[in-house]
Chain A
Amino acid sequence: ILNVEQSPQSLHVQEGDSTNFTCSFPSSNFYALHWYRWETAKSPEALFVMTLNGDEKKKGRISATLNTKEGYSYLYIKGSQPEDSATYLCAYSTSGTYKYIFGTGTRLKVLA
């Protein structure tokens, strides 16, 4: 049974703080790891897709790293802003399948 775990479940930070979350996934048959941001009352929005061990992606103040051998990915937010408040989801897929296994997300609240 595939299981994707995200930690922490929720997080409150002050505006300007930097923060990071973890996504853990089975390392066997890895194919791709996706990060999404899901703001309240909106649709999940894709942030990154990573496929190679050691991948690093960056989009503005947000970046992500991937370790497929040990089965984890980190998402970093530098200088958090109130508009970063959202649930951050990771999703993992395996070779030969066409489905994504999602974690339950990390809920971030940035306080002004």
Chain B
Amino acid sequence: KAGVTQTPRYLIKTRGQQVTLSCSPISGHRSVSWYQQTPGQGLQFLFEYFSETQRNKGNFPGRFSGRQFSNSRSEMNVSTLELGDSALYLCASSSIGRGRVQETQYFGPGTRLLVL
């Protein structure tokens, strides 16, 4: 079974620009979560989608948004980029369903974003 894929792997943008990152989950997985990792910080939860609906959101400004498509692929968008948005962005998928015991998340390789 193919793993979680993320594109692009590396990205350089300038302040004020916007960026869209893509995540394709493992086939059959319907839950996709996004995380940000910056030096010295643990993985910070951004949001989680299930069946095209955002079920939970972390404490990030509204510049960070996401969506999920009917095939479970997900995109994350950051508008008006700031220097502090430079980070590794990871997505993770799981087959978690409503009311079921939470299952393991499988992570993608990440997208490394550098904002200049």
Contact = CB atoms under 8 A, between A and B. Distances in A.
Interface string A79-112: 0000000000101010001111111110000000
Name the interface size band of chain A.
20 to 34
Name the interface size band of chain B.
20 to 34
Contacts of A103: 42
Nearest to A49: B104
A42 to B, nearest CB: 8
A51 interface: yes
Interface in B98-113: 101-110
Interface of A: 4, 31-32, 34, 36, 42-46, 49, 51, 89, 91, 93, 97-105
A101 B40 contact: no
A101 B108 contact: no
A51 B4 CA distance: 25
Contacts of A98: 31, 33, 48, 50, 55-56, 96, 102
